[in-house]
Amino acid sequence: MNQYSIRFGMAPDAGAISVICSSGFYQVHESGFVKEDLESFCKQAYSPEAIAADLARPDRFYIVLDFQEQVVGCLRMAPPSLELAKPDSKGFELARFYLETAHQSGGWGGKMLDAAEAESLRRGYENSWLHVFVPNTRAQAFYTRHGYTKIGEEQLIYQQSHPTGFVLKKTLI
Ligand SMILES: CC(C)(COP(=O)(O)OP(=O)(O)OC[C@H]1O[C@@H](n2cnc3c(N)ncnc32)[C@H](O)[C@@H]1OP(=O)(O)O)[C@@H](O)C(=O)NCCC(=O)NCCS
């Protein structure tokens, strides 16, 4: 029996999304951040309160993956924060895309991405943008397979840390 399902994130998911984003961000960015910065960034951006406030905003949405009725993955689409994406009035930005390790490489990330792109199109967006950390080559391969191409590079500046990532874009129409 298939015990996985994909749906939109809702207010009661804030705690689970907070845990998944914190541990996912920590793993992906460990090499690019000073340790104290990593901890304070996760506390600030991914606290259950911050996620609950984000979930309540109508200009964005989360897709979550459930396994046996527990949230094991998430992603967020929101108005652009990347400098390269901001001028694109038809652009939407993918971020906070993490699956718990035990649930990776099973094809579910691809299905979540498809669902996110379909909903973005339904909302009238024509381009999906994202930022992927330079050393995260597996995620880059995943995005390339899903039709994303490199537009440039942007550095995330947070206190003493400044990891660089590639900015990728996909035309959805
Ligand atoms: C990237 C990710 C969301 C894709 O979801 P998924 O369900 O694993 O993806 P699928 O099964 O549809 O596709 C598998 C591909 O995803 C990528 N992938 C799998 N595990 C990964 C991991 N630990 N880290 C990065 N990418 C991974 C690889 O390209 C993989 O192909 P491979 O098995 O041939 O190497 C998921 O793997 C993940 O959470 N990775 C760690 C966090 C991350 O890198 N997030 C993206 C930040 S921009």
CATH number of the domain within which 51 lies:
3.40.630.30
Q: What is the pLDDT, as a whole number, of residue 69? A: 93
d(CA 142, ligand 1 centre) in Å: 6
Q: Please give the tally of structural domains in the chain.
A: 1
- In a domain? residue 136: no
| 80: Cβ contacts below 8 Å, ≥ 6 apart | 86, 88, 91, 92, 93, 129
For residue 109, how far is its CA from the centre of ligand 1 (angstroms)?
7
Ligand 1 atom nearest 101 alpha carbon: 23
Query: Considering the domain boundaries, does residue 62 fall inside one?
Result: yes
Residue 56 lies in a domain: yes
Residue 165 in domain: no
DSSP SS3 for 86: coil
Task: Please check whether residue 8 lies inside any domain of the structure.
Answer: yes
Q: What is the pLDDT of residue 1?
A: 54
CB-based pocket (< 6 A), ligand 1: 24, 28, 97-99, 104-110, 132, 136, 138-139, 141-142
| DSSP character at residue 106 | S
User: Percentages helix, strand, coil for the chain, rounded to the nearest 5?
Assistant: 40, 30, 30
Which atom of ligand 1 is nearest to 99's Cα?
39
Residue nearest to ligand 1 atom 44, measured at CA: 139
User: By CB neighbour count within 10 A (0-12 exposed, 13-18 middle, 19+ buried), where does 116 fall?
Assistant: buried
| Residue 72: inside a domain | yes
Range of the domain at 22: 4-125
Separation between Cα atoms, residue 55 and residue 17, nearest integer Å: 10
Distance 49 CA to ligand 1 centre (A): 27
In a domain, 173, yes or no: no
What is the pLDDT at residue 2?
72
Q: For residues 44 and 98, what is the distance between their CA atoms, to the nearest angstrom?
A: 18
Q: In what order do the strands lie in the sheet with 70-78?
A: 4-8, 61-67, 70-78, 91-99, 127-133, 164-171, 149-155
pLDDT given at position 150 = 98
Q: Which stretches in the chain have pLDDT values below 50?
A: none
Domain annotation covers residue 48: yes
